[in-house]
Structure 1
Amino acid sequence: MSEIEKAAQDAVEAARQSDQYALVLAAMQAAQAQQTCRHQAPAPVRQSGSAGKWVAAGVGGSVFLLAVAVSAVAVAVSAVALTVCLLVLRSVWQDIQREREERRG
């Protein structure tokens, strides 16, 4: 498995884990909210949508981390391409130099 494939797999796994953490946090907050409601006297409950905010934050964080991972892969691919290009140009230059020397003598 190449480094690029491994990096892509790691990025996908990180995104999955971020989604899972967001869901766990949302579930914990919902459980805390239920416990708080049980211990207090009934009162008009106004939901602020905090679970939705956590899920949105988790999804946004996952997208951000995935974008960073894809950017890192793009930089790595660019570095490999540049290296190959320079090696090919160096080889061509050496061939030209050899031909010049053979013509001279």
Structure 2
Amino acid sequence: MKEIEKASRDAVEAARQGDQFSLMLAAIQAAQQQPVRTVQAPAPVVKSSGGAAKWAGIGVAATFLSVAIAVSLVSAAIATVCLTVCVLILRDVWNSIRKGS
């Protein structure tokens, strides 16, 4: 009888393993049939360029900068003329002093 009992236990174990195997196959098939969900990254936020106020501010700043540069160049020209006149006057005074002595 022992051989029959052993065969019976082996048959029961094989049936249990067959049930487990069929459950695993069913789970694999179900997983394969489900659609794959992909997570999409959020769309990048496009920032606006600022509009008319930004460009008006840039225009005003550029105007003030160009006026400041123009005034600086005019003052440099005036200083050059003044220095030239001073040098000519001092040269004339120096020549007068040398001839008078």
1:58-101 deviations in Å (ceiling 9; x for gaps): 0000000000000000000000000000000000000000011x
Structure 1 regions of 5+ residues with no counterpart?
Answer: 1-46, 101-105
Moved over 6 A (4+): none
Greater share of helix: 1
Q: 1:30 maps to which residue? A: none
Q: 1:94 maps to which residue? A: 95
Higher gyration radius (CA)? 2
Task: Output the CA distance in 2 between the equivalents of 1:96 and 1:50.
Answer: 70
Structure 2 regions of 5+ residues with no counterpart?
Answer: 1-47
If the length of structure 1 is used for normalisation, what is the TM-score? 0.49
Instruction: State how many pairs are aligned.
Output: 55
Superposition map of 1:9-20 within 5 A: none
- Of structures 1 and 2, the one scoring higher in RCO (CA 8 A, sep 6+) is 1
Q: What amino acid maps onto 1:84 in structure 2? A: V
What is the RMSD computed on CA atoms of the aligned residues?
A: 1.7
Identity between Structure 1 and Structure 2 (%): 44
1:22-72 deviations in Å (ceiling 9; x for gaps): xxxxxxxxxxxxxxxxxxxxxxxxx87420010000000000000000000
Q: 2:20 maps to which residue? A: none
If the length of structure 2 is used for normalisation, what is the TM-score? 0.51
Task: Output the CA distance in 2 between the equivalents of 1:70 and 1:91.
Answer: 32
